[in-house]
Amino acid sequence: MPFDINRAENIISALKTDSTTKNDMLRAFIRKIKLFGADIEFFNEPFTPISLTGTQCSLKCRHCDSHYLHHMLDGSSGRLYPEALFLARAQAQGILLSGGSAADGSVPTYIQEENILKIKKETNLKISAHTGIVNKSQADVLSNYLDMALVDVIGDDETIHDILGLKASAKDYENTLEYLTCAGIPLAPHIIVGLYNGELKGEFRALEMVRKFKPEVVVIVVFIPTKGTALERIKPPKIEDVVKVITKAREMFDVPLSLSCVRPGGRYRSTLDKYAILSGINRIAVPSRKAHAISSELGLDIIEIPKMCCSYGETYEKNSKP
Tens digits of residue pLDDT in 229-274: 999 999 999 999 999 999 999 999 999 999 999 999 999 999 999 9
CA-to-CA distance for 224 and 244, rounded, in angstroms?
18
SS3 265: coil
Nearest to 48 by CA among 10, 15, 74, 79: 74
| One CATH from 3.40.1390.10, 3.20.20.70, 3.40.1160.10, 3.40.50.12780 for 5-305 | 3.20.20.70
CA-to-CA distance for 22 and 197, rounded, in angstroms?
25
CA-to-CA distance for 182 and 166, rounded, in angstroms?
25
Tens digits of residue pLDDT in 141-162: 999 999 999 999 999 999 999 9
| 272-286 average pLDDT score | 98
What's the burial of 243, exposed, middle or buried (CB within 10 Å: 0-12/13-18/19+)? buried
Instruction: Report how far apart, in Å, the C-alpha atoms of 255 and of each of 58, 113, 126, 138, 218 are.
Output: 34, 30, 21, 27, 7
Q: What's the pLDDT at 314?
A: 63
pTM for this entry: 0.95
Local confidence band at 105 (pLDDT 50, 70, 90 cut-offs): very high
Tens digits of residue pLDDT in 164-211: 999 999 999 999 999 999 999 999 999 999 999 999 999 999 999 999
